[in-house]
């Protein structure tokens, strides 16, 4: 079994065990709740609402009913219908009316002369139904805050519009209590099922998408492009979407649903950014293949390959920054900081500019390099005396592959600020020279014939240039310059080795090497 499947199974087991222990603890806590009036705190609107919500979250609806104004009912009817009304009202509030307790007044005299505090409203048939708390004076002379009678009377209507679906009554009773954070056990089990279903459907959808993309690419370009790099991202996106769709159908409480929504939104943004980055690489590979097929010349595609590589990296950075910004803006703290920065944009711009000077400079240098193209992927360059081929281009450095398989890491600014040699700037075909110093009496015609024979016999010669000239004369002898050509830099280097060896062997074989350069000295007599 693959390691990732084993890890997933372990994770699900731990989640199931945690939920089981949590449910047992909540059941035990619910069983020990006191229902006496002395344990109820209804002195202020905030405490009354928090007490009602806490009792409903624990599944203790008899306790929650004591926060409702049931004075219009008889005691027997209040005892029988009160818990049901409390359950239905709590269900609707937790799922349809998000209320922040910190916004509710915490004073016994809240509401003023009306002695009523409105927590919010819900619309049924385009008519508002208000959720109110009212200040009620009991027979014992103590005033307490309760859910208003007008709101209690509208609970059946709210339950019909926003209450549980009919199919929820078919769920086994053991999975309908106790409530944890306002949600029944079947809803927490549903989240686990949603996770498993998302992972399974994500695997199927990603495999189907990759198969379709591969088939289209093979049909259009008749070449294979590696689309499997996008598999993990597609898998993750589909899994998150499926999880979110199923979790929406579970009718979770507002707080839990908001938490799930933020987590899924964050993951979705990150996974979409991941897919975009992988798609940029696949698109660059497809465009490169199109260019190669159109030009039939590897050298003609170097400029496009260079631009695609750098622009892909820049676009990936931009996508990453935007994704992180989108994730961060989900949180109020970050939005507040962003508002403060916009208010002081001048100072913030200077600070950010100084802090990100090198990063921005690298991005600008990468853009400049992709447009000006003083160096491209595949070019043969000479940097600090090292001859090599440009293998990779990054935003901050260039990798040059040397002839002995070493890699020379060169800062990208060096190619913009300093001089260097580019042997393949306008073409990969090159000319090279072989210099030999020989005696003045050396047979130049025989050397020239040997040079021509060496070029014709070598597959490295591109049949453009093969000539011999006397380039200089010194006190040691004359300098022969053999000029040859090849299609690529590495072939030219090898051809120079072959020609030099052939010419040296020729000169050494003629009259025992008498035409090779010799040292001369002048002897003077002292007599």
Per-residue tens of pLDDT for the chain, all 527 residues: 444 445 544 555 555 555 555 444 544 444 444 334 446 888 888 898 888 888 887 778 888 888 998 888 888 888 888 888 888 888 888 777 878 888 888 888 876 666 888 888 888 888 888 888 988 888 777 888 898 888 888 888 888 877 766 656 666 766 666 666 767 777 788 888 888 888 888 888 877 877 777 777 666 655 555 666 777 888 788 888 888 888 877 777 777 777 888 888 888 888 888 888 887 777 777 776 666 665 555 555 566 666 677 777 777 777 887 887 777 777 666 666 555 544 554 554 555 555 555 656 666 766 676 666 677 777 778 888 787 888 877 767 788 888 777 888 888 777 777 777 777 666 556 777 888 888 888 888 898 998 899 888 888 888 888 888 888 888 788 888 888 888 777 788 888 888 999 889 888 888 878 888 766 556 565 55
- Helix (H), strand (E) at residue 137: strand 127-137
486: left (phi over 0), alpha (psi -120 to 50) or beta: beta
Q: Are 489 and 428 in contact (CB under 8 A)?
A: yes
CA–CA–CA angle 409, 412, 414 (5° rounding) = 90
**Around 114, how many Cα atoms within 13 Å sit in the side-chain half-sphere?**
7
Level-2 CATH architecture, domain 430-513: 2-Layer Sandwich (3.30)
Residues ≥6 apart with Cβ < 8 Å to 143: 108, 135, 136, 137
Give CA–CA dist 86/60, Å, rounded: 10
Asked if 42 and 145 count as a contact pair (C-beta separation under 8 A), the reply is yes
**Terminal C-alpha separation, the chain:** 101
Distance CA 53, CA 198 (A): 32
Question: How far is the CA of 447 from the CAs of 162, 450, 514, in angstroms?
Answer: 101, 5, 14
CA distances from 414 to 100, 369, 462 (A): 58, 11, 33
CA atoms within 13 A on the CB side of 119: 26
């Amino acid at each position: 079994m693959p390691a990732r499947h084993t890890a997933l199974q372990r994770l699900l087991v731990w989640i199931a065990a945690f939920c089981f222990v949590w449910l047992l603890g909540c059941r035990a806590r619910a069983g020990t709740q006191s229902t006496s009036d002395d344990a109820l705190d209804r002195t202020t609107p905030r405490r009354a609402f928090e007490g009602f919500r806490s009792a409903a979250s624990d599944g203790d609806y008899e306790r929650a009913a004591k926060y409702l104004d049931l004075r219009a009912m008889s005691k027997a009817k209040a005892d029988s219908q009160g818990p049901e009304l409390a359950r239905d009202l709590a269900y609707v509030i937790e799922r349809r009316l998000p209320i922040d307790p910190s916004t509710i007044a915490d004073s016994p005299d809240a509401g003023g002369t009306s002695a009523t505090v409105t927590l919010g409203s819900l619309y049924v048939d385009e008519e508002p139904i208000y959720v109110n708390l009212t200040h009620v004076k009991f027979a014992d002379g103590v005033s307490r805050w309760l859910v208003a009678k007008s709101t209690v009377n509208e609970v059946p209507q709210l339950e019909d519009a926003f209450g549980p679906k009919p199919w929820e009554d078919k769920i086994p009773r053991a999975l309908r209590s106790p409530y944890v954070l306002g949600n029944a056990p079947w809803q927490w089990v549903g989240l686990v099922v949603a996770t498993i279903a998302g992972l399974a459907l994500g695997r199927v959808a990603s495999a189907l998408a990759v198969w379709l993309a591969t088939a289209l690419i093979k049909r259009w370009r008749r070449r294979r492009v590696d689309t499997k790099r996008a598999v993990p991202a597609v898998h993750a996106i589909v899994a998150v979407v499926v999880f979110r769709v199923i979790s929406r159908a579970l009718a979770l409480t507002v707080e839990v649903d908001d938490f799930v929504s933020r987590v899924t939104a964050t993951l979705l943004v990150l996974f979409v950014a991941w897919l975009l980055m992988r798609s940029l690489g696949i698109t660059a590979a497809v465009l490169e293949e199109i260019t190669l097929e159109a030009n039939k010349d590897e050298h003609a595609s170097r400029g496009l390959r260079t631009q695609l590589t750098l622009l892909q990296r820049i676009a990936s950075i931009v996508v990453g920054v935007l994704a992180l910004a989108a994730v961060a803006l989900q949180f109020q703290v970050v939005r507040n900081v962003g508002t403060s920065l916009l208010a002081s944009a001048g100072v913030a711009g200077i600070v950010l500019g100084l802090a990100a000077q090198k990063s921005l400079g690298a991005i600008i240098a990468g853009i400049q390099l992709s447009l000006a193209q003083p160096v491209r992927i595949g070019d043969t360059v000479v940097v600090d005396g090292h001859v090599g081929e440009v293998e990779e281009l990054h935003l901050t450095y260039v990798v040059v592959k040397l002839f002995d398989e070493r890699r020379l890491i060169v800062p990208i600014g060096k190619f913009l600020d300093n001089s260097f040699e580019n042997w393949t700037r306008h073409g990969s075909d090159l000319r090279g020279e072989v210099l030999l110093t020989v005696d003045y009496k050396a047979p130049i015609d025989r050397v020239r014939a040997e040079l021509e024979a060496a070029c014709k016999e070598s597959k490295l010669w591109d049949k453009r240039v093969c000539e011999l000239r006397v380039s200089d004369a010194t006190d040691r002898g004359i300098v022969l310059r053999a000029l040859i050509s090849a299609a690529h830099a590495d072939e030219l280097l090898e051809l120079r080795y072959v020609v030099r060896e052939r010419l040296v062997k020729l000169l050494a074989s003629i009259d025992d090497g008498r035409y090779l350069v010799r040292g001369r000295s002048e002897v003077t007599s002292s007599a």
